[in-house]
Amino acid sequence: MSKSLSPSHPSPYPHKRYTAAWRAVLRLVLISISACSWLVFFSWLVPATLSAQGGELRNQPRRGLIYDGLKRSERPGCRPGFEFRVPNNGRPFCTHGPDPSPLGTNVRESPAPVAVREQAALAVCDGNGQSGNRVQVLYARSSDRPDRYATYVTSIQQWSAEIDGMVSNSALQTGGDRRVRYVHDGACQLDISNVVLPPEGDDSIGNTIQALFNLGFNRSDRKYLIYMDAMVYCGIATMGLDDSPWSTNVHNQGGFYARVDAGCWSSGTAAHELMHTLGGVQSSAPHSTPRWHCYDESDRMCYADGTGIAMQYLCAAPNESLFDCNHDDYFNSNPPANSYLATHWNTANNVFLIGAVPIRGMMRVESLVTGKVNKQGVLKPADTFKWGNTVTVRGMIRDQDDLGLGGASIVIRVIRPDTSVHCERAWTLDSTGGFESECEIPRKAPVGQWAVVVVSLSKAEYIVDPGSISSHSFTVTAK
């Protein structure tokens, strides 16, 4: 006869009863350990900035994702980035946040010095190497770390020269010429400053900038590319939300800082962070992410940055060492008229690059009319003319502030119905921005619809507004 096992009828094998209980406990422990292991494993696979998407920012030291001192910005010129303050500086600094090291790497391991190629220490000569807007390259360390300047200075020169090559090759893709305007000596050798910061100077990007401020590295005509001999970040840079195309864009100013820590020392990471300080990638760009990167690979500024946007592979793998896949988001030395980069911030126009053409403003044909001048010399608008009439064409060019724009050059043509040219006039406008000309309609001229067409409108450092008037139609009759 069998017996049920219950408190009143204890197991005849008490040691097995206890063994079963311990096995159950052990299974729970193993399951918990396994779950934790998978969580750690998957944390390396998910986008690196996932921890920054809402809730408390979670540091990931092995990836260089350190958010200490950063807070999400609500300012129009920074949102949805991060900001931090530096004492005695009026405005907070804005940053896209720390960029992660590649999966499987550890920012706490320094790369070996590179084998330096001949001429790597040379920059593109530009003036005396000191005056004007320039990128200044720094080797920096805190005073409690050993000085490895002599070990790495030639590597830093080569990495910086390779960045210049990336800029140059990217510009060549659109038929232009751009180079980084570095600080250099009289022999065109890249000037790499050896900077010693206080012990806390490498703890955060804010501490670094504060320490550099105190040492005088806060010039308004400098962007600073910092090779930091520390193992806190992979890379981080300051930038802003400003997609205006003008030379007054905030990224055409100095006082921007790109920091690359030793675990990520390379031309690729340094180029990425420097491009942020030049203004790439604005969130209004066609292929942008909310974290000021892009999703159309291959591209030096594109990666899955945790914003949930899927990558698209539109350019070949070699383009990874170049800027702007298809040159439609942030860098184009010759953007097509009315394209995004013709009317928004284009880093190829940044004045810290040699060959850049800064844009001072936008111009438009604000009015284009035809008419007849009466005996009192007053133009009476008209769109119908007979053989023998004189067509008077009058127009006005204005800038983005709605002011008449002098100094612009314009060419217009009067076109017959068969598209042949009847009259052509060219002007360089006076300070009023106005222009006027006459064109006679001869007898036996073709009847039908004619047109006044703006053939060209140009002025140095100005672009044409996409909404500019391009033509005006009128009718010619026999009687």
Q: Using 50, 70 and 90 to split pLDDT, how confident is the model at 4?
A: very low
Residue 412 falls inside a structural domain? yes
pTM recorded for the entire structure:
0.78
Which pLDDT does position 46 carry in this prediction? 39
> How many alpha carbons fall within 13 Å on the CB side of residue 207?
18
Looking at 310, 325, 354, the residue that finishes a domain is 354
CA atoms of 48 and 121, how far apart (whole Å): 34
Same domain? 138 vs 269: yes
In tens, the pLDDT along 95-118 reads 999 999 987 778 888 888 887 665
Residue 397 falls inside a structural domain? yes
Least confident of 40-44, 83-87, 316-320, 452-456: 40-44
Same domain? 315 vs 415: no
Same domain? 59 vs 144: yes
Q: Which residues of 145-164 are buried (b: 16+ CB within 10 A; e: fewer)?
A: beeebeebbbbbbbbbbbbb
Looking at 299, 321, 354, the residue that finishes a domain is 354
Same domain? 163 vs 82: yes
The CATH number assigned to the domain holding 468 equals 2.60.40.1930
Which pLDDT does position 108 carry in this prediction? 86
Which pLDDT does position 207 carry in this prediction? 96
Same domain? 141 vs 275: yes
Same domain? 347 vs 366: no
Residue 9 falls inside a structural domain? no
Q: Using 50, 70 and 90 to split pLDDT, how confident is the model at 79?
A: confident
Which pLDDT does position 49 carry in this prediction? 41
In tens, the pLDDT along 229-245 reads 999 999 999 999 999 99
Same domain? 319 vs 284: yes
CA atoms of 306 and 98, how far apart (whole Å): 12
Same domain? 341 vs 367: no
Q: Reduce the secondary structure of the chain to three states and give it as a string.
A: CCCCCECCECCCCHHHHHHHHHHHHHHHHHHHHHHHHHHHHHHCCCCCCHHHCCCCCCCEHHHCECCCCCEECCCCCCCCCEEECCCCCCCCEEECCCECCCCCCCCCCCCCCCCCCCCCCECCCCCCCCCCCEEEEEEEEECCCCCCHHHHHHHHHHHHHHHHHHHHHHHHCCCCCCEECECECCCCEECEEEEEECHHHHCCHHHHHHHHHHCCCCCCCEEEEEEECCCCCCEEEECCCCCCCCCCCHHHCCCEEEEEEHHHCCHHHHHHHHHHHHCCCCCCCCCECCCCCECEECCCCECCCCCCCCCEECCCHHHHHCCCHHHCCCCCCCCCCCCHHHHCCCHHHCCCEECCCCCCEEEEEEEEEEEEECCCCCEEECCEEECCCEEEEEEEEEECCCCECCCCEEEEEEECCCCCEEEEEEEECCCCCEEEEEEECCCCCCCEEEEEEEEEEECCCEEECCCCCCEEEEEEECC
Supply angle C-alpha 363, 254, 175, rounded to 5. 55
Give the C-alpha distances (Å, rounded to integers) separating 82 from 95, 196, 279, 306: 5, 27, 15, 15
CA atoms of 12 and 256, how far apart (whole Å): 79
Same domain? 137 vs 256: yes
Residue 18 falls inside a structural domain? no
Report yes or no: 361 and 399 within 8 Å, Cβ to Cβ.
yes
Residue 15 falls inside a structural domain? no
Looking at 336, 354, 372, the residue that finishes a domain is 354
In tens, the pLDDT along 28-37 reads 444 343 434 3
What residue numbers bound the domain in which 407 lies? 361-477
The count of structural domains within the chain is: 2
Residue 228 falls inside a structural domain? yes
Which pLDDT does position 117 carry in this prediction? 64
Name the β-bridge partners of 476: 385, 448
Q: Using 50, 70 and 90 to split pLDDT, how confident is the model at 76?
A: confident
Report yes or no: 306 and 295 within 8 Å, Cβ to Cβ.
no
Span 369-375, average pLDDT? 93
48: pLDDT strictly greater than 50: no
Report yes or no: 67 and 97 within 8 Å, Cβ to Cβ.
yes
Tokens 């206080």: give the residue: 198
Span 370-381, average pLDDT? 92
If we measure between CA atoms, which residue out of 273, 274, 290 comes closest to residue 64? 273
Least confident of 21-35, 51-65, 273-287: 21-35
**Stronger pLDDT, 25 or 407, i.e. the higher one:** 407
Which pLDDT does position 3 carry in this prediction? 30
Q: Is 247 exposed, middle or buried (0-12, 13-18, 19+ CB in 10 A)?
A: middle
Residue 197 falls inside a structural domain? yes
Same domain? 385 vs 240: no
Residue 152 falls inside a structural domain? yes
Mean pLDDT of the chain: 87
Same domain? 432 vs 464: yes
Same domain? 222 vs 305: yes
